[in-house]
Amino acid sequence: MNFLTSLHSCDALLDEPHEDTPVSDARPAVPEPVQEAIRTLIRWAGDDPAREGLLDTPARVARAWREYCGGYGEDPSVHLTRQFEEVGGYNEIVLLKDIPFQSHCEHHMAPITGKASIAYLPRNRVVGISKLARVLHGYARRLQIQERLTAQVAQCIWDNLQPLGVAVTIEAQHGCMTGRGVRTPGVGMVTSRMMGTFLDDPRSRKEVLALMGY
């Protein structure tokens, strides 16, 4: 099979203009028990939640966490419902490469920052290329482990697009490793999930990994 990478070239892969909802200025109220929990954590860390610089911190932290975990409020598969069947005979790999993302580890609630590459081999149907990134963010904005995040993104594309193959690789740094514990900044963790053609055919796997830069 002759694989080509298509990032932006094919019209059918382009998105309609962004339908992002504008960022709201409205600040949701933060229930007192949530703020108190954060004050408790500040005390536990050794500081005084009553000092001036920390007065508004509990509400800010609470709102930030709603945002970090915004993925709980969405089903990432909705981003894959709009599919294009007119692909002009395009039957090569579609790859979205080096998508930056942030998540949080479920063991320490520490940041996971990295980049993901998502590829699939279409079976007559494609989605707007940025939708792949939206699926990633939908799962990343939860408490995660990198292995599960990788698998969930791949499975979502597999189930909803029913492509011939899916390949997802994620390379990320874990705040719980770089900022605490063994304190090893610069160490990246790589995970991958291959499905269909990319799992069954070593040559296809090698090809897609090479396109991803591995």
Contact residues for Zn ion (CB under 5 A)? Answer: 105, 107-108, 176
d(CA 191, CA 93): 20
The vertex-37 CA angle with 31 and 42, nearest 5°, equals 130
* Residue among 39, 90, 44, 43 at smallest CA distance from 61: 39
Ramachandran bin of 162, using left for φ above 0, alpha for ψ from -120 to 50, beta for the remaining angles: left
Nearer to Zn ion, 9 or 102 (CB): 102
Whose CB is nearest to Zn ion? 176
Q: What span, in angstroms and rounded, lies between the C-alpha atoms of 8 and 194?
A: 23
Tokens 């975990």 belong to 69
Considering the complex, state which of residue 100 and residue 181 has its C-beta at the smaller distance from Zn ion. Answer: 181
Find the shortest distance in angstroms from Cβ 117 to Zn ion: 23
Q: Which is nearer to Zn ion, 105 or 157 (CB)?
A: 105
Residue 177 CB, nearest distance to Zn ion (Å)? 7
Query: From the CB of 174, what's the least distance to Zn ion, in Å?
Result: 6
- State the Cα–Cα distance between residues 119 and 93, nearest whole angstrom: 7
Judged by beta carbon, residue 146 or residue 169, the one nearer Zn ion is: 146
Show the beta-strand stretches assigned E in 28-174.
83-84, 94-105, 111-121, 126-127, 143-144, 165-174
142 C-beta neighbours (distance < 10 Å), count: 20
Cα separation, 6 vs 95, whole angstroms: 6
Please report how close the Cβ of residue 138 comes to Zn ion at its closest, in angstroms. 21
Helix (H) or strand (E) holding 192: strand 189-196
Question: Judged by CB, which is closer to Zn ion: 134, or 174?
Answer: 174
Which residues participate in the annotated binding site for Zn(2+)? 105, 108, 176
Smallest gap from Cβ 99 to Zn ion, in A, equals 21
Based on CB atoms, which residue is closest to Zn ion, 80 or 177?
177
Taking the complex as a whole, the smallest distance from the CB of residue 154 to Zn ion amounts, in Å, to 22
- Annotated binding-site ranges: 105, 108, 176
